[in-house]
Structure 1
Amino acid sequence: MNEERKRILNLLAEGQLTAEEAESLLSALEETPSAAPEPRSGPARLLRIYVHDGEDGTVVKVNLPLALARFALKFVPEEQRAQIVEAGFDLDEFLASLGSGVPEGKLVEVHDPDGTEVLIEVV
């Protein structure tokens, strides 16, 4: 069993994912080729979300296919979502644009005075 499948199943066992969410993620993994990645030549395909809470040291790192971006963004805490909006990035507009080819690069980078960092990028 590959590491991604194990991680999804562990999240399900811990109650951090519902059965439907786990099924969706496992299905997406099956659709993703497991061979070595080809050299980059097409549009961006991966969404990276990084959240570091400076107060309690919690770190969340998510790397997933853009097709699952809507699902992943619901794990961004509300406080950080508000900071992202304050930084001038419209998450709803981003989600709506996913079907039309999102350009590669950093979308949001927020550094809060309390040490919280949020980075969302497309690669």
Structure 2
Amino acid sequence: MNSEGTELELLADWNGVIMPLKEVTVPALDRGFLFGDGVYEVIRVYGATPFRLEDHLDRLATSLASVQMKHVEIARVKTRLLALIKESGLEDALIYCQITRGVAPRTHHYPDHYQPNILIFIQPFSDVY
């Protein structure tokens, strides 16, 4: 709920396009959906500023390298993440970023050439403790 008592529409960046989170559709043959072939990072936002952003992005890059996932530009992820924070207008929030190896035929060996799917979404954070 927002301050007017209406439901807040959550926003997402799906492969570079900002849209309502509820409109994001994940393809049935996405390797993240089928095999869990992906990585994620969660970042706390205070006063519209992501906490320790560079540390989180470094960890995301390390995670991508550990599963040999290429074709992801961390600088572009950062730009998109910051644009999403601005577009949402949220001050205190959580950012969730999930990167999968994308759509491919359902075989256990992943293809050499693929297009990653990148989902970044933001939601309000309220400390319940």
State the TM-score, normalized to the length of structure 2.
0.30
When normalised by structure 1's length, the TM-score is 0.31
Larger RCO (CA within 8 A; separation ≥ 6) = 2
